[in-house]
């Protein structure tokens, strides 16, 4: 478990590096982000295969968790490399919804288990998993209900702030005769929730700070800025030929470069 945590830590640092590189208008920033997402997807897929290959009976919910995680990581990798395939956004939304279902089940189980041992900790865990679930709903809403995504992001971030405040207020919590910090209790769950919460919190902070102009938007010199504005816009409506506007723009732009030998 320690080895995989080191891998997660290095990938997380690379992800932040890629984001800063993209904000500094370096074209390779998106390549770093895409590479990190690709490696995340491979790691999750390997863990899924190892789970399914074990002789003992495997928890179906754990397999569903890694299946959704690998699908989302590969999906975000494709988007980072500006590769758009049919139903990619829907796949990301559906994966996030199933993942939200996984963590909702886990939240209910942990809450019920801890309620009789330490009520305070049980509610802190409830807030923690609730923030993660709302984060995942925010991802799904960007595809199906784009107008509501900002509200989901805000609620998720506020819940995470409440969790952080509670963790500092109650530094050590007693369960079964053992006094441990809240984060140590979370690590004992051995799931991917802490990794996802860290990534989603950074994403929401970046989105919020760019909206108010405190951070520059991420930039790539592969395409004009109009392309990225189209990608970030509401793409819930399809064109008559069944493609998003930014996909049409990308095809026409690449055709223009090829026709004029500008590649």
Q: What is the DSSP string of 36-95?
A: HHHHHHHHHHHHHHHHHHSSSPPPHHHHHHHHHHHHHHHHHHHHHTT---TTHHHHHHHH
Tokens of 130: 């609730």
Tell me the whole-structure pTM to 2 decimals. Answer: 0.80
pLDDT along the chain (263 residues), means of 10: 80 88 77 92 92 72 94 92 81 95 95 89 94 94 86 92 90 82 85 89 81 71 56 48 58 58 56
State the pLDDT at residue 29.
Answer: 83
Q: Which residues on adjacent β-strands are paired with residue 181?
A: 172
Cα–Cα distance for residue pair 41/76, rounded to 1 Å = 9
Domain assignments of the chain as residue spans, ordered by start: 2-222, 223-263
State the pLDDT at residue 20.
Answer: 84
State the pLDDT at residue 259.
Answer: 56
State the pLDDT at residue 235.
Answer: 47
Q: Tokens 């102009």: give the residue.
A: 213
State the pLDDT at residue 216.
Answer: 74
């Amino acid at each position: 478990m320690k080895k995989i945590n080191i891998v997660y830590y290095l990938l997380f640092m690379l992800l932040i590096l890629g984001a800063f590189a993209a904000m500094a208008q370096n074209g390779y920033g998106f390549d770093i982000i895409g590479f990190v997402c690709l490696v995340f997807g491979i790691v999750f897929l390997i863990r899924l295969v190892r789970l399914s290959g074990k002789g003992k009976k495997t928890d179906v919910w754990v397999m569903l968790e890694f299946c959704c995680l690998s699908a989302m990581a590969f999906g975000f990798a494709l988007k980072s490399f500006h590769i758009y395939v049919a139903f990619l956004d829907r796949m990301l939304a559906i994966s996030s919804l199933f993942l939200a279902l996984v963590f909702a089940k886990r939240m209910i189980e942990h809450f019920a288990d801890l309620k009789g041992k330490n009520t305070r900790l049980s509610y802190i865990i409830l807030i923690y998993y609730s923030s993660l679930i709302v984060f995942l709903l925010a991802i799904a809403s960007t595809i199906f209900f784009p107008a509501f995504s900002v509200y989901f992001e805000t609620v998720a971030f506020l819940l995470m702030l409440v969790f952080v405040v509670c963790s500092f207020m109650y530094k050590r919590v007693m369960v079964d005769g053992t006094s441990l910090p809240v984060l140590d209790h979370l690590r004992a769950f051995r799931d991917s929730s802490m990794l996802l919460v860290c990534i989603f919190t950074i994403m929401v902070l970046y989105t919020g700070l760019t909206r108010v102009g405190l951070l520059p938007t991420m930039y790539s010199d592969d395409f004009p800025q109009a392309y990225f504005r189209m990608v970030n816009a509401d793409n819930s409506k399809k064109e008559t030929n069944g493609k998003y506007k930014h996909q049409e723009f990308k095809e026409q732009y690449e055709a223009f470069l090829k026709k004029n030998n500008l590649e």
